[in-house]
Chain A
Amino acid sequence: MTALVEIKGLMIEGRSDETWSPIIKGVNLTLNKGEVLGLIGESGAGKSTLGLAAMGFCRDGVRISGGSVMFDGIDLLNASAAVKRSLLGKRIAYVAQSAAASFNPAHKIIDQHTEAPVQHGVMSRADSIKDGIELYRRLRLPNPDEIGFRYPHQVSGGQLQRAMTAMAMSCRPDLIIFDEPTTALDVTTQIEVLAAIRDIVAQFDTAAIYITHDLAVVAQMADRIKVLLKGDEVEEADTRTMLSAPKQDYTKSLWAVRSFERPTKPAVPAGAVPVVSVRGVTAAYGKAVVLHDVSFDIHAGRTVAVVGESGSGKSTTARCITGLLPPKSGTIAFDGVTLPADYRKRTKDQLRQAQMIYQMADTALNPRLRIGDIIGRPVQFYSGLTGAKRRERVDELLDQIELDPRQYFNRLPSELSGGQKQRIGIARALAAEPKFIICDEVTSALDQLVAEGILRLLARLQDTLNLSYMFITHDLATVKAIADEVVVMKDGHVVEQGPKAEMFSPPHHPYTDLLLSSVPEMDPDWLTNLLSERGLDNIGDAAVDKM
């Protein structure tokens, strides 16, 4: 049996600053009919570039400089535009990371669905609509008969991602490339999409390349796994072998990331005044009430993780604490002193005490200021240091976040990697010498290895500076790693709260249970077991709706 896709010695170069530098350095890849290959690696490893190259396509500013890509005996790199047009969409399909950004908002979903089959002459429009509804049913979308006739914005993210998978399936392609299809989704939604993708790929015996940076996800989906590092292949093996016995050090380090966990701290002495105390906070955007009577305490030197899906009110709670959104009722107290609700009415010292680290380091750092100024400004603003003294303090802060001051002082944010930017964000918060830091999804945009580095740094800073953290996250692995106490939120309510050990051991509140069981595990049978446990018919939406 000949391979469906055969890539040999593929070299790809990217253009930056007038020179071509290699992105993919001679990778080989073979994919048989009906097989699913998982591609994993950090961002910048060339996963997406390789995935697109398997379609004979490369993005602007990127060129294929060597090697060959054969698809079912057709040389894609030398094929004419006409030949490629007849393949793409019909025999090779692509599912992008963000379905919300990839659907055209001006057309109904079904109209976009029927485009490829009608263009390629596979089906008539009427047949394609019928087929689309059938696919929606198989992907277990709610109301399959009418969901296609909505516009993309009228459908939730997880449903849209499934609709996109259905669209890729519309011509029954031989190969689908999934580029991080679940990365932007909540864990509870992710399950549905993963199960749907896995089923439909198996049903139609489609070959797939599944690109992701999440090991646990790839373990559920792939028959074989290929690990990439900086454009080079590290190793490749079938899923079970790869998980149980990785050969290379790099792969082992990827596997080991999830083992970071802090020791449990002794209980807070009774009667201690919490650093931050949130009491009965109810908040609303206009008339829509998004927080209902939220209360919790954060003690000195402790980390409280606030978990929940998107829209559960985690970030709104943070906005109430910082004073950006004055609550309708309830109070925020700092060291036992009630703070004014609006940040504009707080004193400079009160503002200094509570700092914030943001999810997207890209938008959290002014792209036009140099690192020295980004960190130096709060130093100068709060402590009045200028000139050489300010410089000294900035150097000290850069040392604390493990970046070399001489090298980074004069750089712009765009000259740093994602993890380094996040470290600068931490340094800026530290510059104010706060007692309390709100970490809003600080690791969710980072690769696992980098994220682990950030978590370790935060843990170390907490120990040396006796900081309190409020850690907003939807990733339970992060919670396990860093939290002392956990607050679970859903629809603006606190569902459950308590010390970490209690939260991770049964009995749980049903929602906590759903959240916990939805976190993918490294076991390749996890998804299968979970689905049979929950009962195949009521996964996802149904399970959530019952709460």
Chain B
Amino acid sequence: MSVWLWIILTLIVIGAVGWAFRAVGRAIRPGPFFRDMPFGVAYGYALAVALLLGGVWLWTLPNAIFFRWAVEGFFGFSIAAYLFRLLGRSVGTAWTRKMFRAMPLTAAFGLMVILIYAVLAIFAGVIAPHGQSEIFPLANVVPGGDPAMGGNPDFPLGTDQIGRDILSRLIYGAQNTVGIAFATTLIAFFLGGSLGFLAATLGGWLDQLLSRMVDVLMAIPSLIFALLLMTIASVWAGGEKGLLTLYMVLIIAVIDSTRVFRLARAVGQNIVVMDYIEAAKLRGEGLGYLVFREILPNATAPLLAEFGLRFCFVFLTIASLSFLGVGIQPPLADWGTMVRDLAQFINFAAFAPMVASAPLLAAGSIALLTVAVNFVVDWMLHRSSGLKE
């Protein structure tokens, strides 16, 4: 009961502070800003200040190590993104410099993270200190590299239960997970996009057929469906791990293409009723010209936004499948599998944060890329004037 009392009391105090803030503002600075400020806004200001103070207080607590990491990460990445943007503004061609000048900080951050991931993925073999399936006799080394805490300077992010270097596996994971997710998303877009536009342009029975098929596919929960198909595929593939990965790419691509189909069809239907499409039809243009020259350029903005989201979903689906054991097969490093393998360490979070951080490293990599991709897509959307007009 006392907790509720405290919460109510705090909210009342914040309200009083907000009211006082507005009253003082009105007395000091005449003008429309304070005069027309509704109480709700004043309350919001007070609440924001209270939350900020609460954050600072939390920061000073010795146990709030994850919170401290989050704050440090936030500021660290902000500064890095700012510097990255500065760099972009001073080097490169006139075009890229102009692009960086108009770029918001979020987009710079996203671009920077994606670039880092790309470099890591491409040069994984050179950068990673060890091989992805190399097993050392030291299992369960705690991340941090501090021997007093159970770490080892040779393995800065520790080792997993059978003694593989986590840092190396994270780097190789970028190659496997991101590369496969990207390929899958591309296939899903090619499939869903072209069929969706086709359905929108031709309409009639083809539209009905495709749409109902998509409805059927969408009616089945996607993860369970994928799991089911993967089980069948693993029988077909036999022991061929490469073949199984290919099956996985195709299965996820088909399942995800249903969502892309719906979007492409909806967007396409809005475009095909335009007069310029009618003009092109009356000119006698073929289907290819209609779809690729008239419809596609006008549908890029929503499709791009969907690409950003879809990429993240595919990524998470692969991670989930790997987590369930039917995705990317060991010994290939994959972030989803890594989270699964180290998951039980999360139980130590309350008293040994460094131990518990082991599974969070791979999870954090996924989260960071997801955020970065979406920042970049938001910015591209804005640039391609989908939101500007």
Interface residues of A (CB under 8 A from B): 78, 80-82, 322-324, 343, 346, 348, 351, 355-356, 358, 360, 363-369, 377-378, 381-382, 414, 428, 432
Contacts and interface: CB of A to CB of B under 8 A. Distances in A.
Contact of B276 (A322, A323, A355, A363): A363
Contacts of A428: 279
Nearest to A361: B275
A365 B278 CA distance: 10
Nearest to B273: A363
Contact of B297 (A82, A368, A414): A368
A366 B284 contact: no
Nearest to A358: B275
B381 to A, nearest CB: 15
Contacts of A81: 32, 35-36
Given A363-B276, A368-B298, A432 B283 contact: yes
Chain B's interface: helix, strand, loop or mixed, by majority?
helix
14 contacts: A80-B35, A81-B32, A322-B282, A324-B278, A343-B281, A346-B284, A348-B284, A351-B282, A358-B275, A363-B274, A363-B276, A364-B279, A366-B276, A366-B294
A-B pairs, top 10 by smallest CB distance, nearest first, are A368-B297, A81-B36, A364-B275, A358-B275, A366-B276, A363-B275, A351-B284, A363-B274, A348-B284, A80-B35
B284 A367 contact: no
Contacts of A346: 284
Given A356-B282, A381-B285, 15 more contacts: A80-B36, A81-B32, A82-B36, A343-B281, A351-B282, A351-B284, A355-B282, A358-B279, A363-B274, A364-B276, A366-B294, A366-B298, A381-B284, A414-B389, A428-B279
A369 B279 CA distance: 14
B29 interface: no
B256 to A, nearest CB: 26
A366 B292 CA distance: 12
A379 to B, nearest CB: 11
Contacts of A324: 278, 281-282
Contacts of B389: 414
A363 to B, nearest CB: 5
Interface of B: 32, 35-36, 274-276, 278-279, 281-285, 293-294, 297-298, 389
Contacts of B282: 322-324, 343, 351, 355-356
| Residue with the greatest number of chain B CB neighbours at <10 A, chosen from A323, A346, A364 | A364
A368 B294 CA distance: 8
A414 B389 CA distance: 10
Contacts of B274: 363-364, 366
Contacts of B298: 366-368
Nearest to B281: A343
Contacts of A368: 297-298
B279 A80 contact: no
A381 B276 contact: no
A356 B298 CA distance: 22
A369 B293 contact: yes
A414 B279 CA distance: 18
B295 to A, nearest CB: 9
A385 to B, nearest CB: 15
A348 B284 CA distance: 6
A364 B32 CA distance: 45
A322 B283 CA distance: 10
B282 to A, nearest CB: 6
A377 B276 CA distance: 12
Contacts of B294: 366
Contacts of A367: 298
A358 B278 CA distance: 10
A372 to B, nearest CB: 14
A360 B275 contact: yes
Contacts of B284: 346, 348, 351, 381
A365 B35 contact: no
Nearest to A428: B279
Contacts of B32: 78, 80-81
A365 B276 contact: yes
